[in-house]
Amino acid sequence: MTPGPEHLIIAPILIPFFAGALMLIYDERQRSAKLAISLGAVMAMLLVGVELLMRSKGSALTGFNDIGFYLLGDRGAPFGIVLVIDRLSAMMLVLTALLALPALIYAAAGWHRQGQHFHSLFQFLLMGLNGAFLTGDLFNLFVFFEVLLAASYGLLLHGGGQLRVRGGLHYIAINLTGSLLFLVGVSMVYAASGTLNMAHLSLMVPMLPEPQRVMLHAGAAIMGLAFLIKAGIWPLSFWLPTAYMAGAAPVAAMFAIMTKVGVYVLLRLALLIFGAGAGASAGFGAEVLIAGGMATVVFGFLGVLASQGLGRMAAHLVLVSSGTVLAATGFVLAGGPVQILAAALFYLLSSTLATSALFLLIEPMGREEGGIAALLALTADAYGLDEREENRQPEVGLAIPGSLTVLGICFAACLIVLAGLPPLSGFIGKLGLLQALVASGSATGPMAWIFVAILILSGFATLTGLVRVGIQTFWASDGAPPRVLALELAPVVGLIGLLVFLTIKADVTLGYMNDTADALLRPSIYAQGVLGAPRAEDASP
């Protein structure tokens, strides 16, 4: 890390915490003040995230130049609480802020008025997300995991309605079960190794005798099951489509990164603890990630083909994205080349931005009479669901002319990215994955070729499903063009602009992803850096 304020690493946790707590003091009628505080907090998080991203790049992969540490209470690892910033966690912090800002702007169109404490819950969700990306031990990972889940329960139910209550109750029950599995798994890992610090675990695992190693594997499997539930792996993803499509538009847009928390943790722990240097434990769980990831992609694109509503399609596309990265992680854990992981990280970034934009497009595209709105009504009637109790015409902001044209362009951009078509970033990510998988055929066996076929099929399925919705919405409708506010379109245009920028800067971004993947495959840098992080009193003259 380059020189700078040492306390900056904890800022992504403290900023949303204090912002959320401060807004609890305000009356619900003071939503404008809450919105200003919330937007200011997210802007501050974005600036801090970019600064940490620039510092984490370092100058080389040798030494500890690309990793930063923060020792809470000035207690060193593995006994103290440590926050760690490296290329991967910094990228996730920036991605979280980039999704939060458009979601908040979209909520300003009137969505934040449909329930209480929206902005406080939103900030606490960001606090949990940022903490999960920064923490260096499993216990605090559980703490931040519970913080973000508790906030997501309230956000999912924001606005009320039968569909949200039904989806929310399933969501809460499933995630409480996942939390229980997390606690059981963590307890078994601690019993086997005597530590919960991730860096310490990576050094302990190769030295464990057989009985302790068996218990560690069992605990890791149970704990991993909790993360796989959150990542939406098949067959544990039955709850996700209904829950995600039920959320209010800005909430669903933020939920696009919720599955990536489970993916991030699995990626971090798998390569850190069960990587090439883990001895007899090397590669543990790789087959499960490969098979489960590919099954999730298949389930996702079949769901896209079977869905009539754009909301359910978008939720299944989240599963396609999550399954792709999980399978790629399994291939790398099994000995595949680093290029697979680099392309998967680029794809993660691109697909998360695109699915978030697609969630924001759902309500404006279904606002007009006929077209997709009719299909949504038929689907709701078939499932016995009531219509959403949402304000179809938000009160804040000005409607813009040519809204249908702008909606069509934004929808087409999302389609191109998610289907992996040229020239946008989705094509670059998928092409990189396909090239790396084909090149690794001798190392990863026939499963790589099966994954190649699944990726190609998922692109065709996404193209078919979304084109069908586009035709029904923009061409087959005889109704008047929808009234869309600038506050609703601007966030979507901003996300599309980020995808265009990602495409233009693809060489730079892929270089960053290659360095990130290379660092993840060298866990000794992370472990030695965390355990050797100097305390403040040791550094004082």
Structure confidence by residue, pLDDT tens digits, 131-155: 999 998 898 999 999 999 999 988 8
Does position 195 have pLDDT exceeding 90, yes or no? no
pLDDT tens-place string over residues 309-368:
888 899 999 999 999 999 999 998 888 888 999 999 999 999 999 999 999 998 888 765
**pLDDT score for 369:** 44
DSSP label at residue 476: S
State mean pLDDT over 56-85.
68
Q: Is 10 domain-assigned? A: yes
**pLDDT score for 60:** 44
Nearest-angstrom CA–CA distance, 414 and 99: 15
Q: Is 461 helix (H, G, I), strand (E, B) or coil?
A: helix
State mean pLDDT over 159-164.
75
Domain count along the chain: 1
* Lowest-confidence region among 161-165, 243-247, 301-305, 375-379: 375-379
CA angle 282, 287, 292 (to 5 degrees): 135
Q: Percent of the chain at pLDDT above 70?
A: 84
What is the residue range of 35's domain? 6-384+398-526
State mean pLDDT over 2-24.
82
Does position 125 have pLDDT exceeding 90, yes or no? yes
Report the DSSP beta bridge partners of residue 135. Answer: 83
Q: How many CB atoms lie within 10 A of CB 479?
A: 12
Q: Is 255 domain-assigned? A: yes
**pLDDT score for 382:** 39
State mean pLDDT over 409-416.
92
pTM of the model: 0.89
**pLDDT score for 309:** 84
Q: Is 272 domain-assigned? A: yes
Q: Is 536 domain-assigned? A: no
Q: Is 533 domain-assigned? A: no
Q: Is 351 domain-assigned? A: yes
Backbone phi, then psi, for 29, in 5-degree steps?
Answer: -75, -10
Q: Taking a C-beta distance cutoff of 8 angstroms, is the pair 360, 102 a contact?
A: yes
State mean pLDDT over 366-386.
45
**pLDDT score for 478:** 60
Nearest-angstrom CA–CA distance, 120 and 98: 18
State mean pLDDT over 396-415.
75
Q: Is 531 domain-assigned? A: no
Q: Is 469 domain-assigned? A: yes
Q: Is the peptide bond preceding residue 423 cis, with omega within 30 degrees of 0?
A: yes
pLDDT band at 65 (very low <50, low <70, confident <90, very high): very low
pLDDT tens-place string over residues 458-481:
999 999 999 988 888 777 666 566
* Lowest-confidence region among 48-62, 87-101, 283-297: 48-62
